[in-house]
Structures are given as C-alpha cells and as structure tokens.
Amino acid sequence: MITFEDVSKLYPRQTTPALRHVSVDIDKGEFVFLVGVSGSGKSTFLRLILREYRPTTGRVFVAGKDLGRLHNWKVPALRRQIGTVFQDFRLLPGQTVYQNVAFALQVLGRPMREIRQQVPATLELVGLANKGERRPEELSGGEQQRVAIARAVVNNPKILIADEPTGNLDPATSVGIMKLLDRINRRDTTVIMATHDSTIVDQMRRRVIELDKGELVRDQKQGAYGNL
Ligand code: ADP
Ligand code: ADP
C-alpha cells in the first residue's frame, strides 16, 4: 500500500535532512505506530504520503502510484484515498456533528442519497449515533475526536493517517479512541499513527517504526514504544 524507497528529504534552506535514506513497506490492512522524539521526522514521513512534499531523493509509492511523478491535478484523487486525523480535531465550529461528517462527502460531490445513508452509518460506527445534532463545542474531547475520525473515514479511504490523535485526551478516553481505530483497521483500512503515547503503543503490540534524526532505526512486528 505504501513504499518508501531510499527516501531522503531536505527542506529548503536547511542543512540537515528531515529524513535520511528511509526504506519501508507498509501492506494493505496493517496498523503501524510511528514513534520518535520531536523533530525525528514523523510529520515529514506522513506529509510525503499525502504528497504535501516530494522527496529530495528516493521514491514514495502509495497504492501503486509513484508520488514523485504524480501530476499536481491528480493529487486530490490521491488524498481522497487517505483519511487524516490530528491532535487538535479540526472540526467546523457552529456546524452540527452530522454536517461536519456530511461535508467530507459534499466536497467530493457525492449524491445526497449516499450522504443520507453513509453519515448515520459512520456516526454509528464511531459511537455517536445519537449526537448528530450536537455541535463540536458541546462535546467532550473524546467525542470531538470521534467526529474527526468519522469525517476521515466516511468515504471509506484505503489509508487512515492519525497524527497524535490521543495527544489532547486523558488515558481512559484515549483507550476508547484506540479501540475505534482498531475497529476501523479491522475493516481493512491501513492505519498509520504517529504518537508519543507509550502506554498505548505498549498495550496494542502492533508494528512499530521508529525514527531518530530522520533515520529509520527500528521496525518491529509487534513492538513496544521503547526498545525492549
Ligand atoms: P516530528 O514530526 O517527528 O516532530 P518533523 O518531520 O516535523 O518531525 O521534523 C523533522 C525535521 O525537519 C526537524 O528538524 C524540523 O525542524 C524540520 N522541518 C519540518 N518541517 C519543516 C519545514 N516545513 N521547513 C523546514 N524544516 C522543517
Ligand atoms: P468528559 O469529561 O467525559 O470528556 P464531558 O463532561 O465534557 O465529557 O461531557 C459529558 C457529556 O455531556 C458528553 O456526552 C457531552 O456531549 C455532553 N456535553 C458536554 N458539554 C455540553 C454542552 N455545553 N452542551 C451540551 N452537551 C454537553
């Protein structure tokens, strides 16, 4: 699903690369934790998958496409296959939960009958079936993140990228969010989650990829947050 082939990324006017010679394969349906201290290159890794940047050298493939050769006009089609979730939720304030999720399908030009079917089904999936008429500011942090996840997966993307999705949540709420991400992963969505949450990584025992100063220093099948 995702392949990095000897990828390095040097940002303009920087002297040290954000990623150095990273090679990795992530298969369809995998759940991968991306760990490493702040500045180790996690966001750069995720942004290359979204084609927010191109690699300086090396190649990134997503769903069979070489992103370095992808025309700009094809980038929206790439991003439709990738749902994104962030630490700070990024919901539309003043819009209901239903509208926040429906909007993701409206911008894709999906027909109304599909929206009427998919939005309630997705709110059900994330455990918010009875909160469609609430607004984000009326919801707890955990509920807001569930709305953000619903919005990210409502068009059934192949890949879900989550950048510190539990970073603003207390431990009990975080466990609920992880159960939800696990459920989404079991529906065959490839999940890549950047995190500093060692408790969660240690509990889930999924694949762990660790970056250190831009280098891939660890890739473990059922890893922990730290090297055991
Ligand atoms: P992480 O997500 O692990 O904190 P980043 O990928 O954000 O790491 O950063 C890796 C390195 O690249 C850091 O040294 C950071 O300062 C640098 N960097 C990140 N984004 C940019 C940018 N847009 N322009 C210049 N340097 C950047
Ligand atoms: P927690 O502390 O468990 O994260 P909250 O105490 O913030 O959650 O919220 C508990 C419940 O009350 C949630 O179901 C939330 O939707 C509801 N709620 C919280 N604030 C408001 C509000 N201002 N208006 C309506 N409902 C709210």
Give the separation between CA 195 and CA 198, rounded to whole angstroms.
Answer: 8
Which one-letter amino acid corresponds to residue 48? L
The sign of the CA dihedral 80, 86, 90, 91 is positive
Q: Whose CA is nearest to atom 7 of ligand 2?
A: 140
20 Cβ below 6 A of ligand 1: no
Give 122-138 pLDDT, tens digit per residue. Answer: 999 999 999 999 999 99
Q: Whose CA is nearest to atom 7 of ligand 1?
A: 43
Task: Compute the mean pLDDT over every residue in the chain, rounded to the nearest whole number.
Answer: 96
Cβ 49 vs Cβ 128: under 8 Å = no
pTM (predicted TM-score) = 0.89
Give 64-110 pLDDT, tens digit per residue. Answer: 999 999 999 999 999 999 999 999 999 999 999 999 999 999 999 99
- Ligand having the closest approach to the CA of 172: 2
- Ligand having the closest approach to the CA of 177: 2
Q: What is the DSSP letter of 213?
A: T
Model-level ipTM above the cut of 0.90: no
Closest CA to 162 of 147, 149, 172, 150: 149
